[in-house]
Amino acid sequence: MLESALLVRRQEIPVWLSIASYAGGLIFGLAAAALLLIAVGVPPDAIVDEFLFETFLTSDGLAQTATAAAPLILVGLAASVAARVRFWNIGIEGQLWLGAIAATWISIDDIGPAPIRLALMLVASFIAGAAWIALPLFLKMRWKVSEVISTLLLGNIAFLFVQHLLFGAWRDPTNSFPLSKAFDPVEQFSTLGWGQLHSGIWLSLAAGLVVWIVLERTRLGFYAKAIGLNPDAARATGMPVIASIATLVLSSGGLCGLAGAMIVAGTEHRLNQSIANGYLFSGIVIAFLARSRPLATVVVAFVVGGVYTAGSVLKVFYSVSEAVIVLIQGTVLISVLMAQFFSAYRLSRPVPRGAR
């Protein structure tokens, strides 16, 4: 009887089962997403064209995908780094906002010599993002306050702060919309002559390499893995648990801040109210699908960038809303989650007393 069955966690998941569940969940999620798009009026042949050929197999589509992937790599890495020590950073957008604010502040006030101003903007954005996540980190370490709540609330505060600036002191007087003044050319990433792709993509790829080295080839990465598995056991063996968690969580916030600077200095060239939209959910999806592995995060971010690119086209030509695009990401994520759940657990029927 199914009513009497129990879920029992597997002591060890076979490699073939782990791969099969991941692939099966991904394929099921993509199929469900395709059916969803068909249901909202997108022709089946257009789905294949926009999500495969136009996005990844044409020069313009590939350039747009790489441009979209640049900040996605950073937020995906940020979520992955924090997840390694079981710190659930749900305030990605808040830290991204603070990074964008810090970069804009350097630009508006012309702080530092012009030749190094872009570098100053990046440093300031990293520090601002790290500072914004420091409070949730302190609250969790000191009083066990859930970081899910604190980081999420700080994200809302950051957005309100941006609105305060854009409707107040930083509003461009020459524009009727709430925008800051445009950045000077020296404060922007240089373009690479391929669509809108800019040199910030090298920064994102370098960040992926650095995070991979730190997490996979250093003692800190080993500490993070041990802490993620069992923090009490790691503490009992003398590992620097607090220092390791603090380093990785602050780095997570810094990477989000860097993503904010990349958006305002790479594509928008000014601060506006919409630059952080959607990056929270995308960062979580990327980190989970990549299983918090840095190099896989870069690849998955590129794929999600393709979804952004195709979604933009679908919104224009088929009136597909932004909510549907987010729903597609959520469908794929929940499918993989469910598949992994059933690979980690098995159904077991309790043995009747008389049969023992």
Question: In this structure, what token pair is assigned to residue 197?
Answer: 């792709």
pLDDT tens sequence for the chain (356 residues): 555 667 777 777 777 887 888 888 888 888 888 888 888 888 888 887 777 777 788 888 889 999 999 999 999 999 999 999 999 999 999 999 999 999 999 999 999 999 999 999 999 999 999 999 999 999 999 999 999 999 999 999 999 999 999 999 999 988 888 999 999 999 999 999 888 899 999 999 999 999 999 999 999 999 999 999 899 999 999 999 999 999 999 999 999 999 999 999 999 999 999 888 888 888 988 998 888 899 999 998 988 888 888 877 777 787 778 788 778 878 887 888 888 787 778 777 766 666 55
State the CB neighbour count (10 A cutoff) for residue 68: 24
**Domains in the chain, start-ordered, CATH in brackets?**
13-42+323-347 (no CATH), 44-319 (1.10.3470)
Structure tokens at 140: 């969790």
Q: Is residue 137 within 8 Å of residue 112, measured between CB atoms?
A: no
CB neighbours of residue 132 within 10 Å: 27
- In a 10 Å sphere around its CB, with 0-12 CB exposed, 13-18 middle and 19+ buried, how is residue 185 labelled? exposed
Question: Could you give the angle at the alpha carbon of 193 between the alpha carbons of 188 and 195, nearest 5°?
Answer: 90
